[in-house]
Structure 1
Amino acid sequence: MFFIIPAMFTALAAFFNMQTSIVLIASFFIIKKLVFGGIFLTCGLPTLAGAATFALIQNDASNSDKYFSIVLRLLLPLTCMLLFIFHPIAGSAFLYSFYWFIPMILYFVKSKNVFIASLSSTFVAHAVGSILYLYSTNMADSQWLALIPVVAFERFVAAFGIALFYVTIKGIVVLCVNKYLRN
């Protein structure tokens, strides 16, 4: 259940423009908060960042979207890395933040490959979520280091889930268009 909702929203974002995607996802988290109450640690911000990244990669970007892509895929991960490295406790586990080089490197690949887009978006979401978690909880540097192999598996599964949802939804849309709109 942990990956299903974020993967679904991230995949769905590619079918809308970035602004619409952000509004839809933010609305979901607001409704979730109102209905279920409680405290949501990340408030859906990692999902928003990941979905916006995926939508920007999959959709043809306008010039303003290209600047936003630079912000999301280069500046945001870099900022998260710096916030992590200069944190008094997590700084000694700086290797953990090296995962966030992945979206920065993939930015220069310039591929619309679904898995590459999924991988980039899941690591942008991971960077945002990790920083929110870092500054709202108290974890030892050894715990951050112990998470490094877990994150590799977790993010691969998340990227696969996003790609799977996207391909499935796109297939259903194409099937429906071919069946109902072309006849």
Structure 2
Amino acid sequence: MQNVQKYLTKKNLLFVVIFTVLGFIALQIPVAQLEGSKTKFMLYDAFAPIAGTFIGSLPGVLAVFFMQFINFLVHGAVIEDAGTIIRFLPMLFAVLYFAKKGKFNLVIPIIAILAFIAHPIGRTVWYFSLFWTIPIIAYFFRDRFLLARSLGATFTAHAVGGALWIWVFALPASIWISLIPVVVLERALFAIGISVSFVLVNNLLAFLQKKHILNLGFNIEGKYLLGALYHESNTQTNP
């Protein structure tokens, strides 16, 4: 019970409310449709991974799941196919990857690669799973480059989704091959979107805390602050 109360703090609950509103709007903006299903990628996919950075990994995961579930209910709670259920999972792993560096960041894409090539179709297009080495490579650069961190997060989501997709829908090899250029463009855009979203929210929360409008102790990353906020952060760190 104490562990639950630890996460049900005022700042976490307020963040969930704010994130729910913004996330719901983003969930209404489609970006691309998944092959083999009626399920679509939304602008939300470029926004959601940053959640755990500001309130912690577990609250971030819960916030993202809650947002997706509310959206699911609002739209009639209709399960069009297995893709509807699968879509709940990948983003949760993206949140974990972006929020915190850990061995977990390496294990998930490795498991996804093994699961993909274990499938008969996956073995014929094994090179598709090379996309999922990106989170592994990005792991070693994520603390230095925000884009690497974002690429790792979005390709972790892609790895989880792809590994599940091939076993549930068994798309033919030709589809996976045709998806390669789509994935390159799509994930590059998502990574840029994640980076931009993070910088904007990071600076917004820092500004609100500075003005004592929303001083709830969110985790602010000083090196991604801009202008006066950055200089003030440096001054406080190095008086």
TM-score by length of 1: 0.85
Aligned partner of residue 139 in structure 1, secondary structure? coil
Equivalent position to 1:10, from 40, 49, 52: 49
TM-superposed deviation, 1:147? 1.0
Task: Name the residue aligned to 2:92.
Answer: 48
1:85–1:94 Cα contact (<8 Å) kept: yes
Distance 2:140 2:203 in 1: 28
Q: For the residues of structure 2 that align with 1:93 and 1:141, how far apart are their CA atoms?
A: 6
Contact 1:54 1:120 in 2 (8 A): yes
Percent of aligned pairs with the same amino acid: 30
- Check if 1:38 corresponds to 2:78: yes
- How far the C-alpha of 1:119 sits from its partner, in A, is 0.6
Question: Deviations along 1:92-149, whole A, 9 cap, x unmatched?
Answer: 0011000111111122235253211101100100001111221221311111111111
Cα RMSD (Å)? 1.8
The number of aligned residues is 170
Structure 2 unaligned regions, length at least 5: 1-28, 30-40, 216-239
Give, in whole Å, the separation in 2 of the partners of 1:173 and 1:110. Answer: 22
Tell me which moved more, 2-11 or 20-29.
Answer: 2-11
- State the structure with more CA Rg: 2
Partner AA of 1:15 in structure 2? F
Runs of 4+ in structure 1 over 4 Å off: none
In structure 2, the CA distance between the partners of 1:43 and 1:110, relative to structure 1 (3 Å rule), is closer
CA distance in 2, matches of 1:109, 1:158: 18
Q: Please identify, of 79-88 and 28-37, the stretch whose mean Cα deviation from structure 2 is larger.
A: 28-37
* Relative contact order, higher structure (CA 8 A, sep 6+): 1
Look up the equivalent residue of 2:74 and give its one-letter code. Answer: V
Which residue number in structure 2 is paired with residue 145 of structure 1? 177
Cα distance in 1, alignment partners of residues 138 and 170 from structure 2: 31
Tell me how far apart the structure 2 counterparts of residues 163 and 3 of structure 1 sit (CA, whole Å).
16
Query: What displacement does 1:43 show?
Result: 3.9
Within 2, Cα distance between the matches of 1:109 and 1:88?
34
